[in-house]
Structure 1
Amino acid sequence: MKVRGLRGATTVARNDREEILRATRELMEEIVRANDIDVDDVASVILTMTPDLNAAFPAFAVRQLPGWQWVPLMCATEINVPGSLPRSIRVLVHLNTEKRQDELVHVYLGEAVQLRPDIATR
């Protein structure tokens, strides 16, 4: 079994605690659904937000998902590159899996689809 990196991202309309938590939950739930993830196979998760978001820790939303309270989670601030996509939340899931890299479904929601149109699923 290998450890693979699984990416995803989403955006929010404003710097609001409930909106950040809702969008993060939606993103993680879609990543889990699209890849048929068993939380016991998740090694760790890194979550970042652009500097214009600070109303909540996205890891708090992930910890609320059933079984995720024991997964190591880390939040960080995304690099503030001029002209980059604002109000975005990004995730990198480290997953123990038998799947090949090209079998993983990376999930980009909302305006975040423009970050990786080559692999975005919707």
Structure 2
Amino acid sequence: MSVRGIRGAITVEANDAKLIAGATLEMVSAVIAQNELHPADICSVLITVTNDLDETFPAQSIRQLPGWELVPLMCALEVPVKGSLERCIRLMVLVNTEKTQEEIRHIYLGGAKALRPDLANSK
């Protein structure tokens, strides 16, 4: 078994707590489904947001998922690079898995598809 990183990113239309929570759950759900994960497989999750998203902690919505109460979650601010994608939530999920690097499915949704067009449609 190896520890692998799974990336995810999604954008929201506005700095709104419900939009941020909904987008976070959409992204996490896609990561879970595409990679066939169970909460016990998760080592930790780092969530970053751009500095224009400050209405809620994305980790709060993830913690509501069944079985995720004990998964270590941490939120941080993304590096504020000029001209970078706005209103973006990113994930780095570390998992224990038998999958190879090539079998991991990274998830880029909404405007975040522009971050990694080479991975945005990986399935």
Structure 1 length normalisation: TM-score? 0.98
| 2:31 alignment partner in structure 1 | 31
| 2:46 alignment partner in structure 1 | 46
For each residue in 1:81-116, what CA deviation from the matched residue of structure 2 results, as whole angstroms up to 9, or x when unmatched? 000000000000000000001100000000000000
Percentage of pairs with the same residue: 52
Q: How far off its partner does 1:39 sit?
A: 1.0
SS of the residue aligned with 2:4?
strand
Contact 1:35–1:105 (8 Å) recurs in 2: yes
Number of residue pairs aligned between Structure 1 and Structure 2? 122
Distance 1:15 1:29 in 2: 21
Backbone CA RMSD of aligned residues: 0.8
Unaligned runs of 5+ in 1: none
Unaligned runs of 5+ in 2: none
Q: Does 2:69 align with 1:69?
A: yes
Runs (4+) of structure 1 exceeding 4 A deviation are: none
Q: How far off its partner does 1:38 sit?
A: 1.2
| 2:102 alignment partner in structure 1 | 102
Distance 2:60 2:74 in 1: 10
